[in-house]
Amino acid sequence: MTPLATLHNSPLGYPVLSLIIFLPVIGAALLALIRDEEQSRWFSLIILTLTFFFSLPLLGHFQADVLGFQFVERHAWIPGRGLNYLLGVDGISLPLVLLTTFLGPVTILCSWRYITHRVRECMACLLLTQGILTGVFVALDMVLFYFFWEAMLVPMFLLIAIWGGPRRKYAAVKFVLYTLAGSIFLLLAIVGLYVKAGSFSYPVMLGLHLAPTWQFWIFMALLIGFAVKIPMVPLHTWLPAAHVEAPTAGSVILASVLLKMGTYGLLRFNLTLAPVASVSLAPYIMVFSVVAILYGGLLSLAQEDIKKLIAYSSVAHMGFVTLGISVLNMQGFQGAMLQMINHGLTTGGLFLLAGMLYERTHSRELAVNAGLGRLMPGFVFFLGLYSLSSLAFPGTASFVGEFLCLSGAFNHSMRLGAWVIPGALIAAAYMFRMFLTVTWGKGGDPKLARDINLREWASLLPPALLVVLFGFYPAPILRIMNPVLEAIIGRLPVEKSIDMAAMISHSLHGFLN
Amino acid sequence: MVEQTTFSILPVLIVTVSLVGAGLIMLFRDNPNRRETVSVVTGVVKFLMVLAMVPPILHGQVIRCHIVEVLPGCSLVFRVDGFSMVFALISSFLWILTSFYSIGYMRGLKEHAQTRYYTCFALTLSGALGVAMSGSLFTMYLFYELVSIFTYPLVMHHEDGEAKWGANKYLVYLMGTGKLFFLSAVVITYVISGNLDFGPHGILPADANPTLLIVLFVLFVAGIAKSGVIPLHSWLPSAMVAPTPVSALLHAVAVVKVGVFCVARVIYSVYGPELMQRLGLVMPSAYFFSATILIASMIALTHDNLKARLAYSTVSQLAYITLGFALVSVNSMTGGAIHIANHAFSKITLFYCAGAIFVATGKKYISELDGIARSMPITMTAFAIGAFSMIGVPGTAGFISKWFLGLGALDDHSLLLLVIILTSSLLNAGYFLPIIYRAFFFKQKSEDRHLREAPLFMVVPLSVTAALTIFFGFFPQPFLRLIAEVLS
């Protein structure tokens, strides 16, 4: 058995992972008992703050130098079918779990005044999302993983469809259709893996040595499932629609955590379960990543709608993540992981700011909001900080991530690096365009300007602090994830061994005859 | 060579003091006197702290202050050697003078948004000093980009169409090249050497692919567009829409010197003289920078706008510095490094004069300056001193630089370079002497008779810098000793 698959019992006396999954879920149920809207807001805030504090022992007791899964919880679920309730975290999932719990209270704070009708229901949805997202990152049983993966759709669909903008129905349906279509392939892959492994347990599957053909198809099926979520060009068109229509909290969750489900899956499942196929197929992902970086950036440059601009910038940023993964070297992996965290903090912050502008002017158009920033110094401070981070300004978190991704790319080949660098330039262009229009532009109605209040400070400040901290000191995250990433690289074969042309023609042959 | 390093917290304090200053300036936005006192006091404190670092440096030490390791081999670290000191001393000293000058200029013209102006000024100085004292490519890149950001509002100051055009051009050029070339150069350096921290030698491995190293050098030179190298220079004349003190300190000293200083660091600390020689980069880059010297001087001849002429003169003079470093001989690098200081004193004098003329008379064009020296004798004398120094007349600071540069050219047995240096001196004379001649010897127009000198806040600083231009023409030792500490 590979060390990656070892299961370490929790040093804590209580099931910490279940606690942070189910505390918000139970909280969502309890909201049914609360009638008052203001109370429901406070209740949700307290629940998610508690959840965050309960997740901190994970960081305190995590042994960075130990491979395998820690804080494992294992219970038989449906014994006859090899189904277990199996949870655990390792160096890849821990940062994402903490990101999720960290941003929980922020999503409540930004919905405080934004949501004016059906407040309780909205809060319940936010709590549910929180629990389910955590579940996605800690589930080690593939069926459980799939359950959380799909369950995510329900509260997210409701968030967009009920509290969204004018075209919310369209956006919500598009979101669900895209994700469901991708999920079918994910399910297919899981069944395929079960057939070979005889168990749904991911640690057991790690012991598989599949034939290259199997790996190829498993890889493809998983990839399609994850690519929709990431989203990779050309499967990205649901994202701008969903982002634009979703309420602020929905956008924050989407951008900060939900997209990471895809790249997490890519790193966790594709690379470890189909290493041979990964090496052969990585160059194709690379191409799509470069396209995402450049095309996403150019699209972002052309937007007049602030949320759309940020949404397309997400496409480009996630392109950096997939690029980092696809170059298959240590720097790329580290960069991809950091970029996931940093994009979560940065883009989350930008969506918060876009939401605040919307609350003031009831418009997301750049032209309507132009020049308002100079009347709101506190707002501009954060807009500047998050914009700089988004364009990977040195000293902000995204710089380190992007720098490592670029190092990975240049390490892979100078030519690849040369393709990606313009993406960094375009990022600067669209971010400055937005920032400068909002601060210096002309056309906004000055009467609508109102600087951010204490609650808004409270939601913007914590991620901003982390943005700066990780900009200079990413060592804690790197320390946690380095051993796992090294182990994943260690499993990859050195040479490409799949002859793609032969593989496809063989498969077609089998398919047609 | 093992370098003796000592630890000192001073570099951090020097960078943070003007951040604190910027905060206080914003705090006192309703009280101009207090606000400007803060600005001056911050400048003085900063200069004294820089001065405190001189003794250890002169004793052959290098000051190092390691703050945090961001990635393995990539740290936020300050490292102060003689080169850093030259740049740090002049920019912190001239900031004090410029603070006084700004008071005269901004009040004289009743400018708007003065708090923003003083705040950004303080922040930019932090950035410039950060570059001067940077101990790794990461630190250097960080402060380089910060300077671009902080100066944007200064260039944008007037908020009209012209300012917007200039400011956006500024951003497009500097951010564009910074992201496209400088960033990729930093990444490639990290990929091939795994280390970005400066030491006594270059950081690039000697066994790396030579073609790659040459391409990398081109990326560095193109990425550091702040050095005003042609063809990436045209942001500089456009940035002259800024108020004159900004043009004076930032676009003759802080910002553009950040550019040339970065190029110098890349040549000396990233590549190192031996590698430069071995790659055959010395002569091609020397000719490349010489082209900038000549072309910019010729463009300067064509401009009637005084600030535009000074801007192109800056482009040309900056190339002397990069040329000096590109030649990598002891003499030439001494010439380049000391020209950082000498050009600063002379050019800031010229800009101060241009601003004083504008405040006192509202004139921007050279053709309007007939006989102006009759009304503004002190200003125009200072102007003449600055111009003589730019031409390289003996007894002024500029002569010392050209002397060493000429020696450097001869070290490399390149007569052509010497000819270029001399030709450019002629060109300098060609665009400066007519101004002086017009100011002193043309008959003053009768409607200009009533004109008087600018406020004392402006006249005193420009007299001081003019005096220093002469002083360092006779006593260049302070800077020479600092430079010799690095090159020995």
Q: How high is the ipTM of this complex?
A: 0.89
What are the tokens at B170? Answer: 């500024």
With cut-offs at 50, 70 and 90, classify the pLDDT of residue B2: low
Q: How far is CA B463 from CA A441, B36, B482, in A?
A: 40, 21, 26
Among candidate residues A15, A124, A117, A132, the one with its CA nearest the CA of residue A75: A15
The parent domain of residue A398 ranges over 3-494
Q: How far apart are CA B348 and CA B317, in angstroms?
A: 13
* Of the partner residues B141, B171, B187, the one whose CB lies closest to the CB of residue A432: B171
Residue B69 CB neighbour total at 10 angstroms: 16
Q: How far apart are CA B1 and CA B129, in angstroms?
A: 27
Res. B1: pLDDT tops 60: no
Please, what is the angle between helix B32-52 and helix B82-108, to 10°? Answer: 170
CB contact under 8 A, B68 and A400: no
Strand B61-71, strand B4-7: pairing? parallel
Q: How far is CA A139 from CA A42, A93, A123, A225, B341, in A?
A: 29, 10, 24, 17, 63
Q: How many helices and strands in chain A, by DSSP H and E?
A: 23, 3
Phi-psi region of B73 (alpha: psi -120 to 50; beta: other; left: phi over 0): left
The C-alpha torsion from B203 through B205 and B206 to B212, rounded to 10°, is -100
* Of the partner residues B146, B179, B190, the one whose CB lies closest to the CB of residue A428: B179
Instruction: Return phi, psi of residue B24, to 5°.
Output: -65, -40
Long-range contacts formed by B59-62: CB under 8 A, 24+ apart: B60/B4, B60/B485, B60/B488, B61/B4, B61/B5, B61/B6, B62/B3, B62/B4, B62/B5, B62/B6, B62/B200
Please, what is the angle between helix A500-512 and helix A212-229, to 10°? Answer: 90
Res. A318: pLDDT tops 60: yes
Q: How far is CA A465 from CA A345, A385, A428, B26, B39, in A?
A: 10, 10, 21, 22, 28
Q: How far apart are CA A12 and CA A9, in angstroms?
A: 9
A393 touches chain B (CB under 8 A): yes
Residue B108, classified by CB atoms within 10 Å of its CB into exposed (0-12), middle (13-18) or buried (19+), is middle
Q: How much is the average pLDDT of B272-299?
A: 88
Give the pTM: 0.91
For every residue of B286-351, DSSP letters joined together read HHHHHHHHHHHHHHHHT--BHHHHHHHHHHHHHHHHHHHHHT-SHHHHHHHHHHHHHHHHHHHHHH
DSSP 8-state secondary structure symbol assigned to residue B239: G
Give which of A334, A425, A468 to mutate to test B binding, by max B Cβ within 10 Å. A425
Q: Is residue B376 helix, strand or coil?
A: coil
User: B58 CB contacts (<8 Å, ≥6 apart)?
Assistant: B481, B482, B485
- pLDDT at residue A338, rounded to an integer: 92
> How near does any CA of chain B get to the CA of A225, in Å?
33
Q: How much is the average pLDDT of A182-189?
A: 92
Q: Is residue A196 helix, strand or coil?
A: helix
- pLDDT at residue A359, rounded to an integer: 86
Q: How many cross-chain Cβ pairs, A to B, lie less than 8 Å apart? A: 65
A425 touches chain B (CB under 8 A): yes
* Of the partner residues B142, B156, B191, the one whose CB lies closest to the CB of residue A440: B156
With cut-offs at 50, 70 and 90, classify the pLDDT of residue A295: very high
Residue B377, preceding peptide bond in cis (omega within 30° of 0):
no
CB contact under 8 A, B184 and A406: yes
Nearest-5° angle of CA A462, CA A467, CA A469? 95
Give which of B184, B192, B211, B215 to mutate to test A binding, by max A Cβ within 10 Å. B184
**B67 contacts in A (CB within 8 Å)?**
472
Q: How far apart are CA A50 and CA A73, in angstroms?
A: 21
Res. A322: pLDDT tops 90: yes
Res. A454: pLDDT tops 90: no
In a domain, A506, yes or no: no
Buried residues in B454-471 as b, exposed as e (16+ CB within 10 A): bbebbbbbbbbbbebbbe
In a domain, A508, yes or no: no
Q: How far is C-alpha A213 from the geometric centre of its chain's CA atoms? A: 30
- pLDDT at residue A294, rounded to an integer: 93
- pLDDT at residue A392, rounded to an integer: 87
Residue B205, preceding peptide bond in cis (omega within 30° of 0):
no
Q: How far is CA A509 from CA A477, A506, A512, B215, in A?
A: 47, 5, 5, 48
> How near does any CA of chain A get to the CA of B175, in Å?
8
With cut-offs at 50, 70 and 90, classify the pLDDT of residue A222: very high
B190 touches chain A (CB under 8 A): yes
Q: How far apart are CA B258 and CA B474, in angstroms?
A: 26
Sheet of strand A69-78, all strands in order from the earlier edge strand to the far edge? A7-9, A69-78, A83-89
Q: Are A230 and A146 in contact (CB under 8 A)?
A: no
Q: How far apart are CA A319 and CA B237, in angstroms?
A: 38
> How near does any CA of chain A get to the CA of B73, in Å?
12
Helix (H) or strand (E) holding B62: strand B61-71
CB contact under 8 A, B71 and A400: yes
Q: Are A66 and A20 in contact (CB under 8 A)?
A: no
- Could you tell me what percent of chain B has a pLDDT over 70? 100
Q: Are B80 and B62 in contact (CB under 8 A)?
A: yes
In a domain, A90, yes or no: yes
Res. A371: pLDDT tops 90: no
Q: Which residue of A has its CA nearest to B72?
A: A475
The identity of residue A348, as a single letter, is: G
Nearest-5° angle of CA A199, CA A62, CA A104? 85
- pLDDT at residue A1, rounded to an integer: 64
The dihedral built from the CA positions of residue B478, B482, B487 and B488, taken in this order, carries a sign that is positive
What are the tokens at B134? Answer: 């940077």
Alpha helical stretches, state H, B156-267: 161-177, 184-193, 210-223, 235-238, 244-245, 255-265
Query: What is the SS3 string spanning A128-190?
Result: HHHHHHHHHHHECEHHHHHHHHHHCHHHHHHHHHHHCCCCHHHHHHHHHHHHHHHHHHHHHHH
A53 touches chain B (CB under 8 A): no
Among candidate residues B23, B43, B433, B16, the one with its CA nearest the CA of residue B245: B43
* Of the partner residues A403, A421, A436, the one whose CB lies closest to the CB of residue B180: A421
CB contact under 8 A, B180 and A414: no
Q: Which residue of B has its CA nearest to A433?
A: B168
What are the tokens at B185? Answer: 């150069």
CB contact under 8 A, A440 and B159: yes
Q: How far is C-alpha A175 from the geometric centre of its chain's CA atoms? A: 15
Q: How much is the average pLDDT of B96-107?
A: 83
B141 touches chain A (CB under 8 A): yes
Q: How much is the average pLDDT of A402-426?
A: 91
A424 touches chain B (CB under 8 A): yes
Per-residue pLDDT tens over the stretch B386-403: 999 998 888 888 899 899
Q: How far apart are CA B278 and CA A462, in angstroms?
A: 51
Longest dimension (CA), chain B: 71
**A395 contacts in B (CB within 8 Å)?**
142, 146
CB contact under 8 A, A410 and B188: yes
Per-residue pLDDT tens over the stretch A19-59: 999 999 999 999 888 888 888 889 999 999 999 999 999 88
Q: Is residue A205 helix, strand or coil?
A: helix
Q: How much is the average pLDDT of A428-442?
A: 88
Q: How much is the average pLDDT of B456-482?
A: 88
Q: Is residue A394 helix, strand or coil?
A: coil
- pLDDT at residue B376, rounded to an integer: 86
* Of the partner residues B68, B171, B184, the one whose CB lies closest to the CB of residue A472: B68
B415 touches chain A (CB under 8 A): no
Strand pairing partners for B66?
A: B77
CB contact under 8 A, A394 and B138: yes
In a domain, A358, yes or no: yes
- pLDDT at residue B278, rounded to an integer: 86
Strand pairing partners for A70?
A: A89
CB contact under 8 A, A410 and B191: yes
Give which of B187, B209, B218 to mutate to test A binding, by max A Cβ within 10 Å. B187
Residue A199 CB neighbour total at 10 angstroms: 18
User: A19 CB contacts (<8 Å, ≥6 apart)?
Assistant: A54
Give which of A334, A406, A412, A479 to mutate to test B binding, by max B Cβ within 10 Å. A406
Q: How far apart are CA B140 and CA A116, in angstroms?
A: 49
Q: How far apart are CA B220 and CA B188, in angstroms?
A: 11
Mean pLDDT of chain A: 88
CB contact under 8 A, A424 and B138: no
In a domain, A450, yes or no: yes
- Could you tell me what percent of chain B has a pLDDT over 90? 13
B138 touches chain A (CB under 8 A): yes
In a domain, A96, yes or no: yes
Per-residue pLDDT tens over the stretch B340-365: 988 999 999 998 888 888 888 888 88
Q: How much is the average pLDDT of B161-174?
A: 86
Per-residue pLDDT tens over the stretch A249-278: 889 998 888 999 999 999 999 998 888 888
Q: Is residue B161 helix, strand or coil?
A: helix
Q: Which residue of A has its CA nearest to B163?
A: A440
Q: Is residue B64 helix, strand or coil?
A: strand
Domains in chain A: how many in total?
1
Q: Are A412 and A326 in contact (CB under 8 A)?
A: no
Q: How far is CA A445 from CA A356, A371, B94, B261, B354, in A?
A: 15, 8, 42, 44, 39
**Strand ranges (E), B442-483:** none
* Of the partner residues A417, A473, A475, the one whose CB lies closest to the CB of residue B184: A417
